[in-house]
Amino acid sequence: MMRKRPWPIIILLVFLAFGCVKILPGEAGYGDKVRILVLKGANEFEIRSEGGTIEVRSEGPGRVMVNGRLRELPLKFTARNEFVYLNGKPFRGAVEVAESKDGLIVINELFLESYLVGIINNEISSKWPKDVIKTQAVIARTYALYNKAKRPNGLYHVEGSVMGQVYSGVGKEDEAAFKAVKETAGEILTFSGEPALTVYHSNAGGMTDSSKDVWERYYPYLLSIESPYDSAYPQFYWGFSLSAASLGELLKKSGLKTGEPAETIPVEATKAGRVKSIVIEDKEGKKLKISGEDLRKAVGYSTLRSTIFEVKRAGDLFVFKGKGSGHGVGLSQWGAKGMAEEGYSYREILKHYYPGTDLVRAY
C-alpha cells in the first residue's frame, strides 16, 4: 500500500500485466505536456488503477485523507501504459490532486497530442468531414499552447469545460480523432511568431464578430467574418420565454442589482447584430445597463445561446428569439463544417476564420 514519502508528491506507478496499448503521438516522445483542470470544488472522489482503488477526501487546508491515512497536498498518481480512473473515467498520463480557494481540484497532466484526441468528440463530431476535424485539432492545439504560455506557473493551463475546451479523458477517443491529430501533429497558428488566441464557438449565426466588439480586447486576427454555412445547424434559430419574476431572480443570483424587470431596451449592437449592451428597467423605474454577455451568463449559456437575439414583453413574459450559439468570436464550428463539405481544406478554413495568422509546425 502507499507509504509516507519525504516529499509532498506521491507517485503511483501502474504497470500493464498483459496486452498492448496504441501509442499516441505525444506518448511517442514529442510535443509539450499540458495540465488540464478536470475536476474542481470537490470534497471527495475516487481514483482507481490496476493497483487498486484510492478514496480521497478533503481534511482541511493542504491535507487529504487517502484510504484512511492523512497526506499532504499535492498528490500525483501516474499510470504507465494504462489509464488512471477518476470517478470511473479513464485518463492518460497523470492526475494530480491540489487545492484551490473553492476546494480540491484534480489536474490531468499529459502530452498535448494525446489530450487533443480526447477533445475532438467533445467539441465536434469525428463523423464530420476530415478537414473540419483537422481544423479542430489545429485550433485546440494552438489554444492550449497559447494558454500554457500565458500561465506557465499556474496550477493548470486550460479548463476541461466550456470555460476552456471540453475534455473528459479517454472516453470519447476514436480512430478518426486519432488520425486527424496525427496528420496535423505539431501544427499551430501563429501571429507575429507567437501562438494565436484561437477561440471558437458552435455557430456564428451567419457572421462572427471582432474580439474588440465582444470582449473589448483587440486581436488583429479576430475580426468580423462572414460565416455563410451556419444555417445548416439544426437549431440555428431558437427561442424561449421567461416570466418577469424568473428573469429578475436570475439577474439577482448573478449579482446584478435590480428589481423585477418591466422593460428591456437594446442600447448597442455589434456589426453582426449581437447585443453589445442592453438596459433592463425594473418596476420601480430603476435602470440597469449590462452587456449582452453578462445577460447570457445570468440567464444561462445553454438557454440564451448567443447574443444575436431580440427580446419583447408579452404580458408577464419576456420572449427571446435569436440565432446561432456561442460568443461569436473566431471560428464557427458549424461554419467550418459547411466549408469542409463544400471542399475547402483545413488550411483554407483556418485562413478564413483567422486572417493574418500563419500555419506552422511548432514541433
**Lowest-confidence region among 25-29, 142-146, 356-360:** 25-29
Asked if residue 9 has pLDDT above 50, the reply is no
- Measured between alpha carbons, how far is residue 191 from residues 146, 157, 278 in Å? 11, 20, 34
* 263: β partners: 281
Q: Hey, what's the torsion of the CAs at 23, 25, 29, 35, to 10 degrees?
A: -100
pLDDT tier, 1 (very low <50, low <70, confident <90, very high otherwise):
very low
Instruction: Report, as an integer, the average pLDDT of 264-280.
Output: 96
State the pLDDT at residue 139: 98
Residue type, 20: C
Q: What is the pLDDT of residues 290-321, one digit of tens each?
A: 999 999 999 999 999 999 999 999 999 999 99
Distance CA 241, CA 247 (A): 9
Q: What is the pLDDT of residues 157-176, one digit of tens each?
A: 999 999 999 999 999 999 99
pLDDT tier, 30 (very low <50, low <70, confident <90, very high otherwise):
low
Asked if residue 191 has pLDDT above 80, the reply is yes
Q: What is the pLDDT of residues 75-87, one digit of tens each?
A: 998 876 679 999 9
- Measured between alpha carbons, how far is residue 246 from residues 161, 250, 260, 265 in Å? 27, 6, 8, 18
Average pLDDT, the chain: 90
- The percent of residues in the chain predicted with pLDDT above 70, rounded, is 91
- Measured between alpha carbons, how far is residue 118 from residues 57, 82, 121, 353 in Å? 27, 15, 7, 23
State the pLDDT at residue 25: 55
pLDDT tier, 17 (very low <50, low <70, confident <90, very high otherwise):
very low
State the pLDDT at residue 248: 95
Instruction: Report, as an integer, the average pLDDT of 185-212.
Output: 97
Distance CA 178, CA 175 (A): 5
pLDDT tier, 349 (very low <50, low <70, confident <90, very high otherwise):
very high
State the pLDDT at residue 27: 52
Asked if residue 2 has pLDDT above 50, the reply is no
pLDDT tier, 103 (very low <50, low <70, confident <90, very high otherwise):
confident
pLDDT tier, 257 (very low <50, low <70, confident <90, very high otherwise):
confident
- The percent of residues in the chain predicted with pLDDT above 90, rounded, is 83
* 288: β partners: 280
**pTM to 2 decimal places:** 0.89
